Amino acid sequence: MKTFAGIDIGAQSVVLCLRRGGRTLSAETFARTEAGYRAIIRKLGRKVACVVLEATGIYYLDLAMALQRAGLPVAVINPRSFHHFAKLKLNTSKTDAVDAALLAEYAECMKPALWRAPDEVLLGLRDIGRQINRLTAARTQAKNRLHALRAKASTLPLLIEDEVEGIAQLDQRLQRLTEAALELLGQQPLYQQHLLNLQQAKGIGQTSAIALLAELCVLPQDMRAAQVSRYAGLDVRLCQSGTSVNKPGRLSKAGNAYLRSALYMPALSAVRHDPNAKAFYLALQLRGKKKIQALCAVMRKYLTGIWACIKLGVPFDSSKLFSEKHLADA
């Protein structure tokens, strides 16, 4: 008789619930510590068929890696998938114990794909890439504040000096993190080559290449381009039914916001400086698409090309992404 486990993870505690023979057993609470993880592994033993966790924030990662190192089958699922499963079961209560029980039932009913832990060096690269993304956004905000302060004649010089110092500190932090990312990539010759290949694309410099590679390097290499687009939230969500419902398609945005952010500026640069991307961008506008819709389509195309570079180990080539027909019509 197979045993399935569901684990609901919080900031301080972890709730484990087992399910066997179609029946849910009582839930147990453990501390979210190394000692708590070891207790969970002892509780699960070796006969569990699948352990399901939600990918909520970052809390799940240490436990998922500990379970996998112990040889247990782990599945990390999208919280949205679990949310819809709870609705399907007409569940109206939400507690940690109820969620853990539902996760165990999800494991039994849905048979989710097992999770594979990325290399720890690549996880470190992803963390650095995300910090670079956050600091870059903070620097942009600081520069906008500085512009606003300088636009007013009565602004105290102290405020301008303070903002300038803050921007200089952000520049130093970004430089330090970029050097750290390059050092990590130096330990991975394959990914160092990927970094160079990505920079062959118009609009992708060193910083953008690091940000993109940091997010994509932890994905399973057998993922298809359409799956990667869905992971980034760049897939189109349609809403059509019969003859009365026919809404315009929209991006789902149910994916990795860091990856979308890293693609935005390269795509914006590509539609200005890459002839193939520019022709595709203009062709979409002639078909009635808004500028932002056309730009998102270029982002999706660029992501497809970047993923091909990573899978095949070849330099980025936009001529293989866009139709020559668009170039001829431009």
Name residue 251's beta-bridge partners.
Answer: 236
- Chain segment 157-208, per-residue pLDDT in tens: 999 999 999 999 999 999 999 999 999 998 888 999 999 999 999 999 999 9
Q: What pTM does this model have?
A: 0.85
d(CA 274, CA 90): 51
d(CA 176, CA 180): 6
Please determine, for residue 328, whether its predicted confidence score (pLDDT) is greater than 60.
no
Say which residue, 25 or 169, is predicted with more confidence: 169
Q: Is 320 helix (H, G, I), strand (E, B) or coil?
A: helix
Q: What is the pLDDT of residue 292?
A: 92
Tokens standing for residue 148: 């606003």
Average pLDDT over residues 256-261: 93
Name residue 8's beta-bridge partners.
Answer: 15
Residue boundaries of the structural domains of the chain? 3-110, 120-216, 225-329
Contacts of residue 173, defined as CB under 8 A and 6 or more positions apart, other chains included, come to 135
Please determine, for residue 327, whether its predicted confidence score (pLDDT) is greater than 80.
no
Contacts of residue 247, defined as CB under 8 A and 6 or more positions apart, other chains included, come to 239, 240
- Chain segment 279-290, per-residue pLDDT in tens: 999 999 999 999
Mean pLDDT score of the chain:
91
Q: What is the pLDDT of residue 244?
A: 66
Tokens standing for residue 95: 């507690």
d(CA 194, CA 210): 10
For residues 117 and 71, the answer to whether their CB atoms sit within 8 Å is no
Contacts of residue 126, defined as CB under 8 A and 6 or more positions apart, other chains included, come to 118, 214, 215, 217, 218
Residue 24 is given by DSSP the state E
- Chain segment 26-53, per-residue pLDDT in tens: 899 999 999 999 999 999 988 899 999 9
d(CA 182, CA 328): 40
Q: Comparing C-alpha atoms, which of 202, 163, 205, 171 is closest to residue 281?
A: 202
Confidence band for 326, pLDDT divided at 50, 70 and 90: low
Superfamily of domain 3-110: ATPase, nucleotide binding domain (3.30.420.40)
d(CA 103, CA 8): 8
Q: What is the pLDDT of residue 118?
A: 85
Q: What is the pLDDT of residue 31?
A: 94
